[in-house]
Amino acid sequence: MRRPIKNKPVRRPDLKFESEAVSRFINTVMLDGKKDTARAVVYDAMDILAKSEGNPDPLETFETAIRNVSPLMEVRSRRVGGANYQVPREVPQQRRVSLAYRWLINAARAKKGKPMAQKLAEEILLAVKNEGSAVKKKDDMHRMADANKAFAHFAW
């Protein structure tokens, strides 16, 4: 029997942009419960985005970056007859966005020598142009799914 559908908590939009996506991104940036610090980092990165690139709307730039980083396919391990197969599957929408946030933040954290807000803004701008570490990670995932599409019939 299937598990009952869990009611998702209602997310509050962030204070500055009135966006639930930015609110969720702030929560993903947050370390050790320091939400004010995470909020300051994200808002500073958005200010940097607004000043650069000629696009005055940082929210639109942010959403474009998330769309460019979000993976469509992933591989999941499946054991069949004593052998493990990497089975390609479509990524659910919620996980797609979560992975995009995580990859953007990890790519920004991997850079050294600059403030986090500046690194995050640079990574978002690279993602808008379909460049950077986060987009490379998405492309690697798609390449792996494409290489293993022979095992797609094992999908459950």
92: pLDDT strictly greater than 80 = yes
Q: What is the mean pLDDT of the chain?
A: 92
The rounded distance, in Å, linking the Cα atoms of 135 and 68 is 7
Torsion of the alpha carbons at 25, 29, 33 and 34, rounded to the nearest 10 = -110
For 8-28, write each residue's pLDDT tens digit: 888 899 999 999 999 999 999
pLDDT, tens digit (0-9, with 9 covering 90-100), for 35-71: 999 999 999 999 999 998 677 789 999 999 999 999 9
The top-level CATH class assigned to 20-73+83-154 is: mainly alpha
- Whole-model pTM above 0.85? yes
Q: Is the pLDDT of residue 85 over 80?
A: yes
* Percent residues over pLDDT 90 in the chain: 74
What are the structural domain ranges in the chain?
20-73+83-154
